[in-house]
């Protein structure tokens, strides 16, 4: 399945798979995730970097699709990772995104062949979120909660500690006209309660998708990022009330409320 702009914009679940484990690529692709991300960076030891890149290239050469998380600019593997992804027209996840000039160079080098997903996971990236999101050539931003938490000295699953960073990305994305961002990972693979709590929190802040680290997380993420039945009923009631200012369920409805109702109904059809 081709990872078009529209598909990436509406993806609720994106699943990481380590680049040095090509035996897991097909399983990840059949997990129900909207897209898989072949990770050439954090999941891969230095001695396996080149082999992982070759594995990703073979997967793409076979007609499969994937987002490629490359190694950061300035590393020994960055240029080769980028060349491979661009040659295949694969979307690129850029780790440690924090410098607009670096993103501008990557966009220029892409020459329209690949979409970029900046992964914001540093304090500098959070503070420059408005500038990063305003760059052309990207499809959507993602949040790296684990790396950022390490830099800040807080727990990566602390909703309060990272609420500011998450809200910055949501606001910056909206200001730039981008689709809402993708939230970071839940590291408790088998803890469904922790996963659903993380999803509820990120949805409340305005995220519409999540990075996943295990196929077992996909169904929960996909389901819980979809509009609820009550949200769909409310949206339909608002739309049915017409375009003029009115009252639905005791609440005033005007143009911004109508737009939210339309977004909910559009998301329910994804």
Query: For residue 265, what pLDDT is reported?
Result: 66
Q: Which residues contact 22 (CB under 8 A, 6 or more apart)?
A: 55, 58, 59
Query: For residue 227, what pLDDT is reported?
Result: 75
Query: For residue 269, what pLDDT is reported?
Result: 64
Q: Which residues contact 99 (CB under 8 A, 6 or more apart)?
A: 124, 128
- Chunked into runs of 10 residues, the chain (270 residues) has average pLDDT values of 88 97 97 97 96 98 97 96 97 97 94 95 98 91 98 97 98 96 96 96 96 97 83 68 61 67 68
- Give the Cα-Cα-Cα angle 201, 32, 190 (nearest 5 degrees): 55
Produce one character per residue of 162-173: b if its CB has 16 or more CB atoms within 10 Å, e if not: beebbebbbebb
Query: For residue 183, what pLDDT is reported?
Result: 98
Query: For residue 24, what pLDDT is reported?
Result: 97
Query: What are the residue boundaries of the structural domains of the chain, listed by start?
Result: 5-226, 227-270
Instruction: Classify domain 5-226 by CATH number.
Output: 3.20.20.60
229-253 pLDDT tens trace: 677 676 677 676 666 556 656 666 6
Query: For residue 236, what pLDDT is reported?
Result: 73
Helix 78-88 to helix 49-61 angle (10° resolution) is 0
Query: For residue 141, what pLDDT is reported?
Result: 98
Query: For residue 43, what pLDDT is reported?
Result: 93
């Amino acid at each position: 399945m081709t990872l078009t702009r529209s598909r990436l914009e509406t993806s609720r679940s994106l699943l990481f798979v380590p680049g040095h484990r090509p035996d897991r690529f097909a399983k990840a692709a059949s997990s129900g995730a909207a897209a898989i991300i072949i990770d050439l960076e954090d999941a891969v030891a230095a001695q396996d970097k080149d082999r992982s890149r070759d594995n990703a290239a073979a997967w793409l050469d076979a007609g499969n699709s994937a987002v490629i998380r490359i190694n950061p600019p300035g590393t020994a593997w960055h240029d080769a990772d980028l060349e491979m992804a661009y040659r295949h027209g694969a979307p690129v996840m850029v780790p440690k995104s924090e410098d607009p000039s670096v993103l501008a160079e990557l966009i220029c080098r892409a020459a329209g062949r690949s979409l970029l997903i900046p992964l914001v996971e540093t304090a500098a990236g959070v503070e420059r979120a408005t500038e990063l999101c305003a760059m052309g050539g990207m499809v959507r931003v993602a949040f790296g909660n684990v790396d950022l938490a390490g830099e800040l000295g807080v727990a990566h699953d602390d909703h309060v500690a990272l609420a500011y960073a998450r809200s910055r990305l949501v606001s910056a994305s909206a200001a730039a006209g981008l689709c809402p961002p993708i939230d970071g990972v839940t590291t408790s693979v088998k803890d469904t309660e922790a996963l659903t709590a993380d999803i509820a929190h990120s949805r409340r802040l305005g995220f519409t998708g999540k990075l996943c680290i295990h196929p077992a997380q996909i169904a929960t993420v996909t389901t819980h990022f979809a509009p609820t039945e009550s949200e769909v009923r409310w949206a339909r009631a608002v739309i049915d009330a017409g375009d003029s200012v009115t009252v639905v369920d005791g609440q005033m409805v005007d143009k911004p409320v109508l737009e939210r109702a339309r977004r909910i109904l559009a998301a329910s059809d994804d």
